[in-house]
Structure 1
Amino acid sequence: MKKALFVNMCGQGHVNPTIGLVKELIVRGDQVTYIAGEEFRNKIEKTGAKFIGYKNSFDVQNLFNGNLNSENNDPLLKVIGTFKNIVETLFNLNETFDYIVYDSAFMLGNEVGRVFKIPAICSITTFAANKRTNCLSEQIKKFGPNIQKLLNSFEYMNFVKNLKQEYGITCPSIVTAVSAKGMINIVYTSKYFQLCGESFDESYKFVGPSIAARKEDVSFTLENNEKKKVIYISLGTIFNGSIEFYENCFKAFDNMDVKIVMSVGKNIDIKAFKSIPSNFIVRNYVSQLKILKHADVFITHGGMNSTNEGLYYDVPLILIPQFVDQPAVANRVAELGAGIVIEKDKVTQEILKQSVINILSNNDFKINSKKIGKSLREAGGYKKAVDEILNLTSLYEEVAYDNEK
């Protein structure tokens, strides 16, 4: 039995892909301690892992939605606060572990593994990045002056100094951290779907999406005895507050002979909608995986997790990317012929309707989504990821044993 340490510092799209891994590791006899924002306690504890929470001050939306500017570095300073919380938690555990699995956003993960003298495995929930494929380069370029201001700030320099003095951790460059590597790197997509997949070495394990049954309280089920085409609409868990977008969907599909399932997120009061067409089912939350099994088209924000899940079930996509890596993900889907991209500022009821008509009338979208889906299903999923993790830890033990002899 080995003891695993998981570290995560972002939202649902970074946590959800790890759920299957955690469950499978526990099934195979390992113990898992999982450090993440307190809001994930219930989800993680249901896997059987020991959960250690911290107050999550890392607000992804504030970091990338334009609130970051030369006068306001508060969002980036909150990121430093999150790093401090995690590091303090890690070094106060008074417990030894056999390996660490860390989210790629936690750029200190490989250094923590070095200090703890254990294998470090990087969990990559978007496209893997290298010099050829860095899909975050535009964001870094956009916020470059503000990031440089942060690097010159007293708070950041003091943080880096304390990491070295108190914990022996050398802080990597923020600019290069997005392409940082662990001993192995678990990437939740296929090499076929990955940008420039052949440019990555063998340390990158493209295992496909981590599709596992999730213990979520959902009373909603899809019944479609009419055999109509099903359109599923969801903008994820962060940028899902646009009443105007949902109203455009009502107008676009009101008179179409289709069934619409729309998930609007926890912050929308469904009663606030003036009139919901009879062919719509609107909920604050639905079981996405259950709906995708029946969907013919998925209208999505293009988050990597949602995109992978849609394509896993061979569903063509209409993508309305919002921020960070989503434009790169959306463009990759369009490049492979499995979907249509609509810029978020150009969404109209006419464009939405015509995009759905195009996908339903052109079988090439379905053929191409099936091709990607096949590559995702054959990648091995969370069981393959666990195989790779346990192979690494066994090899690490053998090398350590030989070095002691």
Structure 2
Amino acid sequence: MSHFGVLSYKGAGHLNPLIALARELVARGHRVTFFQTAELEEHVRLHGLEFCSITSSAARPATSSRLAYRWKFMQEIVALRDGIDRIVFDMELFLRQVPPAMAGRGIDAIIMDEIALAGPTVAEILRLPYVVISTSVPHNFGWDGPRSIASRETLIERVQRECHQVSVLRMRGPVRRRLDALRRTVGLGPIGQVKRKFPELAHITQLPQCLDLPRTTLPYNFHYAGPLVDEATRPAMDFPWGRLDGRTMVYATFGTSRRSDLALFHLIAEACNELCLQLVISLGGRRGPESLHGLPGDAIVVKALPQLEILKRADIVISHGGLNTALETLREGKPTIVIPRAFDQPAVAARLERCGVALALPAKDLSAGAIRTALHTLLGQPGYRDAAMRMKAAVCASDGLAHAADVIELSLRRQGTRS
């Protein structure tokens, strides 16, 4: 049995799948310890997992982008610099503290989130085998979507995306230069050599193969797993179930990682009200219901809710296209309207639309009429629900947790045999 160290990004869309995978490994007799900052300790330990706190005596870089610069362009430049500074600060923090912490706890192998940027360097310093987990569309597949749904970008927005869209497998720009400088201080070559000199044992994605685009070649160590979902890890939450009145129900959510555009919820509420549909809105834990006063109709608005249970009852889901929400929706066989905003969302939206389970709408210049038309189409054309049910069967059959754990165990056994 092995002792795994886990390096995960803090966001729920990354942390929840890795907690689910860790619990599967523990159920098989392994030990798993998460290495993260202290605010996540209670959440991780709640699920029966070990935790090692990473702390810093230095303050995290302050955000200066809110200063009253006269020109919007200068505000965007400062925001870009702030974002890079925060990424580099976290990367340096983990490179200083994680190697001695892992060595002291007897870690045998590392499981790392694709955007745990310090991960391969930590593994190389300790000479530990490692597995990369893509909780979303793998970065090396690309995150672009069709022009018809992707938000139009300014020059600075495009530069921001290129600088921030980094991963352990796709390092670039100032973040890469800073990491290479840090690697030199411990006698390691450039990060670009890692794939050749110290590669990962396996790269696993929870994107199911049935949802991906056709591919002729893939790396020998790449594996589609399927959703890494463990319902037992979801906290119990209150919800006003008695307010559900039997009408066709639409569930709208824009995730937890970004502050949602409240204007979009107003457009959705207007469209649902015109079609006499019952609307349930989750604000992702970041705002209270009072922030959506004056919505058309009688929508049920909550700060957070038990999403897996709501998805079982919903008829249509409206989301941003985050992969976790998309996969949980597919597991229930529900058609979707996707309004992608950023990151991997256009790529997810394009895949859902290609599979015939969703309609994708551009966030820019969106109208209540466009949402109403999309709702009417999904409700009136059974082909979308039929496709969603076919995808449900394929996604559920993938058994993502068991598959991912099997790959990890087999990869370690093979590596041990070669050693």
Give the TM-score, by structure 1 length. 0.84
Contact 1:58 1:82 (C-alpha < 8 Å) held by counterparts:
no
Partner of residue 81 from structure 1, selected from 89, 100, 103: 89
Q: Does residue 356 in structure 1 map to residue 372 in structure 2?
A: no
Q: In the alignment, which residue of structure 2 is the partner of 1:143?
A: 159
- The range that moved more, 73-82 or 88-97, is 88-97
SS of 1:293's equivalent in the other structure is helix
Paired residues of 2:269 and 2:279 also in contact (CA < 8 A):
no
Q: 1-side partners of 2:99 and 2:211: how far apart?
A: 38
Residues 211-290 of structure 1: matches in 2 within 5 Å?
211-213=229-231, 214-220=233-239, 222=241, 226-276=245-295, 279-290=298-309
Q: 2:182 aligns with which of 141, 144, 162?
A: 162
Does the Cα contact within 8 Å between 1:208 and 1:376 map onto a contact in 2?
yes
SS at match of 2:260: coil
Partner of 1:267, secondary structure, is coil
Percent identity of paired positions between Structure 1 and Structure 2: 19
Residue number among 119, 132, 135 corresponding to 1:125 in the alignment? 135
Is contact 1:191-1:198 (8 Å) kept?
Answer: no
CA 209–294 in structure 1, closer or farther in 2 if over 3 Å, else same: same
Aligned to 2:223: 205
Root mean square deviation of aligned Cα:
3.4
Name the amino acid aligned to 1:385.
A
2: distance between equivalents of 1:389 and 1:10?
22
| Structure 2 letter corresponding to 1:83 | M
CA distance 1:202–1:108, change in 2 (3 Å): same
Partner of 1:390: 409
| Residues 113, 133 of structure 2: 8 Å contact kept | yes
SS in structure 1 opposite 2:395? helix
Residue in structure 2 matched with residue 377 of structure 1 by the alignment: 396
Secondary structure, counterpart of 1:247 in structure 2: helix
- Once the two structures are overlaid, the 10-residue window that deviates more, 185-194 or 266-275, is 266-275
Mapped partners of 1:145, 1:353: distance in 2: 31
**Which residue number corresponds to residue 4 of structure 2?**
4
Equivalents in 1 of 2:82, 2:266: separation in Å? 33
> Which shows bigger deviation, 279-288 or 200-209?
200-209
* Residues 7 and 102 in structure 1, CA contact (< 8 A), matched pair in contact too: yes
SS of alignment partner, residue 391 of structure 1: helix
The answer to whether the Cα contact below 8 Å between 2:206 and 2:227 also exists between their aligned partners in 1 is yes
Can you list the C-alpha shifts for 1:122-145, whole angstroms capped at 9, x where unaligned? 000112354xx3226999992189
Residues 145-184 of structure 1 deviation map (CA, whole Å, 9 limit, x = unaligned):
9849x9786x975653232323x4445259x99xx97211
**What is the Cα deviation at residue 108 of structure 1?**
4.0
Please state whether the residue corresponding to 1:73 is helix, strand or coil.
Answer: helix
Q: Is the 8 A contact 1:6 1:34 kept in 2?
A: yes
Q: Distance in 2 between matches of 1:80 and 1:99?
A: 24
- Secondary structure of residue in 2 paired with 1:268: coil
Q: How much has 1:275 moved relative to structure 2?
A: 3.4
1:320 partnered with 2:339: yes
2:358 to 334, 339, 361: 339
Q: Please state whether the residue corresponding to 1:48 is helix, strand or coil.
A: coil
Q: Label 1:115 to 1:159 Cα distance change in 2 as closer, same or farther (>3 A).
A: closer
Q: Is the 8 A contact 2:99 2:126 kept in 1?
A: no
Q: 1:295 to 1:118 in 2, by over 3 A?
A: same
After superposition, what is the alpha-carbon deviation per residue over 1:333-373, rounded to whole angstroms, capped at 9, x for unaligned? 11121111111112221111221111011111112222222
The equivalent of 1:403 in structure 2 is none
Q: 1:290 to 1:52 in 2, by over 3 A?
A: same
| Separation in structure 1 between the aligned mates of residue 417 and residue 234 of structure 2, nearest angstrom | 37
Please state whether the residue corresponding to 2:278 is helix, strand or coil: strand
CA distance, structure 1, for counterparts of residue 211 and residue 330 of structure 2 = 10
Deviations 1:363-392 (A, max 9, x none): 111122222222211112112211111112
CA distance 1:333–1:152, change in 2 (3 Å): closer
Matched, 1:28 2:28: yes
Q: Does 1:92 align with 2:100?
A: yes
The CA deviation string for residues 99-130 of structure 1, in whole angstroms up to 9 with x for no partner, is 11001112443343333233210000112354
Counterpart amino acid of residue 88 in structure 1: R
Instruction: Name stretches of at least 5 consecutive residues in structure 2 with no aligned partner.
Output: 66-72, 165-170
CA distance in 1, matches of 2:325, 2:26: 25
Larger mean CA deviation between 260-269 and 18-27 belongs to 260-269
Whole-Å separation in 2 of the counterparts to 1:145 and 1:393:
35
Aligned length: 387
Q: Determine if contact 1:9/1:82 at 8 Å carries over to the other structure.
A: no
> Which residues of structure 1 form unaligned runs of 5+?
401-405
Q: Is the aligned partner of 1:15 residue 2:15?
A: yes
- Report the residue type matching 1:77 in the other structure: D
Q: What letter matches 2:87 in structure 1? A: V
**Aligned partners of 1:383 and 1:156: how far apart in 2?**
34
Counterparts of 1:41 and 1:345, CA distance in 2: 39
Q: Is the 8 A contact 2:179 2:191 kept in 1?
A: no
